[in-house]
């Protein structure tokens, strides 16, 4: 079972992150949806402050998949426009900002299939 994400390792704010998700499963599965998101998480070392995500960009996969069919192999393109005001990737002593591309195959009445890849967002 494999889900592979092909995309650049770095992107500048204000740029466009493009790539493909390649799905190659061992067998056909029923699925509700394939969700591709590009999420930012801000992490603080203070245990009293929870991590939070201020930015969540979603990609729509319905146009590439027939939701009534079973899923085994698929190639799904994605494209995210990164706003110029989005926080860049950063790792400091008191704060960390990371960007992660997430893929979720939503499978009814079973464990979902997940894949992720970190992408650096540059100033």
Q: Are 41 and 119 in contact (CB under 8 A)?
A: no
Q: What is the pTM of this model?
A: 0.85
pLDDT tens digit string along 85-115?
A: 999 999 988 888 999 999 999 988 889 999 9
pLDDT tens digit string along 28-84?
A: 999 888 999 999 988 877 766 666 666 787 775 656 677 667 899 999 999 999 999
Question: Would the pLDDT of 121 be above 90?
Answer: yes
pLDDT score recorded for residue 21: 95
Among 104, 87, 109, which residue's Cα sits nearest to residue 41? 87
Structural domains in the chain, sorted by start: 2-122 (2.60.40.640)
The first and second tokens of residue 111, run together, are: 């464990």
């Amino acid at each position: 079972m494999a889900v592979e994400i092909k995309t650049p390792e770095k992107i500048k704010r204000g740029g466009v992150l493009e790539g493909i998700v390649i799905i190659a499963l061992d067998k056909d599965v029923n699925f509700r949806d394939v969700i591709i998101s590009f999420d930012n998480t801000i992490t603080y070392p203070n245990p009293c402050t929870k991590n939070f995500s201020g930015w969540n960009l979603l990609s729509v996969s319905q146009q590439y998949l027939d939701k009534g069919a079973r899923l085994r192999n698929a190639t799904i393109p994605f494209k995210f426009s990164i706003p110029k005001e989005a926080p860049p990737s950063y790792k400091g002593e008191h704060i960390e900002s990371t960007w992660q591309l997430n893929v979720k195959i939503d499978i009814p009445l079973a464990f979902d299939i997940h894949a992720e890849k970190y992408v650096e967002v540059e100033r």
